[in-house]
Amino acid sequence: MKFAKLILLLLTLQLAGAQELLTLPGDSPLIDVRVQFEVGSIDDPEGKEGLTCLTALSLSEAGTEKKSYQDLLATFYPWAVSVDTTVGKEMVTFSATVHRDHLDEFKEVFTEMLTEPTFSQKDLDRLREKARNYLTQDLRVNNDEELGKETLYLQIYPRIHPYGHHNFGTVSGLEAVTTDDLRTHYRSYFRPERMTIGLAGGYPQEFPKELAAGLSVGLASAVELPSRPSISQPASPDGRRFTIVEKDTRSVAMSLGFPIEVNRSHPDWAALFLFRSFFGEHRSSTSHLYQRLREARGLNYGDYAYIEYFPNGMYLTQPEPNYPRSQQIFQIWIRPVQPETALFTLRATFFELEKVLREGLTEQQFEATRSYLKKNAPLLVASGSRELGYALDSKFYGSDPFVERLRNDLDKLTVDEVNRALRKHLQADNIEIVLVSKDATQLREELTAQRPSPMEYNSPKPQEILEEDNVIQSYPLKLGEIRIVPVNELFR
């Protein structure tokens, strides 16, 4: 669906609360439903990090007062329906896609799930184990790349910051949550005043208000509406601060980044969005960093850059919506390299970043990237579900619909404005660097020694690459603090 053919309607309904309704009516028999609440991991109480996650999962992956979770799954199975949950820093979103033929039945079951949770001890134990396994197995043990990226966020946002723990919480926080905590958190935050209902597709005209009415009555709460924490900009690190995560692994994964004041509500967002696409578009083989590290030198599988949170990037070709954040970071993701080429790869990354910050984009690079983005933008909202998700994000940021906003901004953008924005908001001197490596002590010694790190290739390389390598192998890393963190200490 195209935005030009859509009616984007934002209504405030005077029902039991003051929830909002965002609709994208269309002709598809598949109806996309997203229910979003203004609650996230920033609302976890101290010592019970993960409470929001467990409360949200208790609504989508647990039983109700009338049905067990197995009964719910059996009900949804013939409809080919599942209810997915996105827990972010500031929002929780429940999403599902259902055929129009089953819409009324789905509405009754879905409303029951969100308004009549049982919060049983059995369900809590199961969901706690799921969240804990994600932190201790999926991240710590099985996925060096996501481990490095999530550790980077923990280094940028200290524990006292509202963003200072993973969306799933911490191991100790999850252990501390009780069923009474779930009930209290649910009554406090999952309520009409904090809810937006999003719908897309060929639903009956009266369906949005019917769904909203049922949810509003069931979610109404007499509990005082709690205030939310203020989200301040964290300070950038003083110099280049290294964190080496020590774990038994065969390669070295790298993530680099620092906080920026730019999100989608900022006037420089489109300029930085264009720059990160040129420098490190996700999964693109034509981006600058990919070309210099992967294509020219064969160092790893890929090299990417981001200005917005993008979890699970190794599994996805496009970012998932509904992880909106008031604060974002500029991040470079260097996919794992062999230990013997780690220092060269790190030096090459800084060499390329400093070079582009110094020289800026050329007119040709700017025009090629702008043309690509204008054509690529609709692919990010190619389904009704994704379009609805992006519409909810636009509501969060107070911006125009994503494709419309991006194309309008790109039309007005100039190469000089892009270069001004990247020099204003980006830098290479004060930056967090996370390395996931087996021999952490040896890697620290190699970093500290500052010895040259020459490259050796198995096949001939162009003279231009060899000459550049001679510069990169001794490129100054400008070391700051270097810390070693055993992997088992993360997410505790």
Q: Give residue for tokens 């300029």.
A: 271
Provide the b/e sequence for 273-286 (b: ≥16 CB within 10 Å): bbbbbbbbbbebee
Domain assignment present for 395: yes
H or E element, residue 476:
none
Domain assignment present for 126: yes
Per-residue DSSP letter, 225: P
Number of domains in the chain: 2
DSSP structure string for 254-273: EEEEEEES--TTSTTHHHHH
Q: Give the integer Cα–Cα distance in Å for 7 and 111.
A: 25
Residue 364 CB neighbour total at 10 angstroms: 9
Structural domain including 18 reads: 3-219
- Altogether, the residues listed in the chain come to a count of 492
Mean pLDDT, all residues of the chain: 95
Q: Is 332 helix (H, G, I), strand (E, B) or coil?
A: strand
Tell me: pLDDT of 3 over 60: no
Single out the residue in 169, 188, 219 at which a domain terminates.
219
CATH code assigned at 42: 3.30.830.10
Q: What is the per-residue pLDDT for 18?
A: 53
Q: Which amino acid is present at 197?
A: I
Do 7 and 129 fall within a single domain? yes
Dihedral of the CA atoms 398, 97, 35, 123 (nearest 10)? -140
Q: What is the per-residue pLDDT for 19?
A: 74
Q: Give the integer Cα–Cα distance in Å for 44 and 89.
A: 10
Q: What is the per-residue pLDDT for 10?
A: 42
Q: Which amino acid is present at 169?
A: G
Do 246 and 345 fall within a single domain? yes
Domain assignment present for 226: no
Domain assignment present for 78: yes
Q: What are phi and psi of 147, to 5 degrees?
A: -60, -45
Do 287 and 388 fall within a single domain? yes
Structure tokens at 170: 């911490």
- 63's CB contacts (< 8 A; 6+ apart) are 69, 71, 72, 117, 118, 120, 123
Do 256 and 174 fall within a single domain? no
Q: Give residue for tokens 């979103």.
A: 93
Domain assignment present for 428: yes
Do 151 and 267 fall within a single domain? no
Domain assignment present for 231: no
Q: Give the integer Cα–Cα distance in Å for 449 and 183.
A: 55
Do 172 and 24 fall within a single domain? yes
The predicted-structure confidence for 74-110, as pLDDT tens digits, reads as follows 999 999 999 999 999 999 999 999 999 999 999 999 9
Do 45 and 152 fall within a single domain? yes
Which band of pLDDT confidence, cut at 50, 70 and 90, is reported for residue 11?
A: very low
Q: What is the per-residue pLDDT for 17?
A: 47
The predicted-structure confidence for 317-336, as pLDDT tens digits, reads as follows 999 999 999 999 999 999 99
State percent of the chain over pLDDT 70: 96
Do 137 and 260 fall within a single domain? no
Tell me: pLDDT of 16 over 60: no
The answer to whether 127 and 168 have CB atoms below 8 angstroms apart is no
Do 372 and 478 fall within a single domain? yes
- 272's CB contacts (< 8 A; 6+ apart) are 260, 262, 307, 330, 421, 422, 425, 426
- Using left for φ > 0, alpha for ψ between -120 and 50, and beta otherwise, residue 272 falls in alpha
Burial category of 226 from C-beta neighbours within 10 Å (exposed 0-12, middle 13-18, buried 19 and up) = exposed
Do 97 and 178 fall within a single domain? yes
Domain assignment present for 233: no
Do 192 and 313 fall within a single domain? no
Higher pLDDT: 12 or 25? It is: 25
Domain assignment present for 227: no
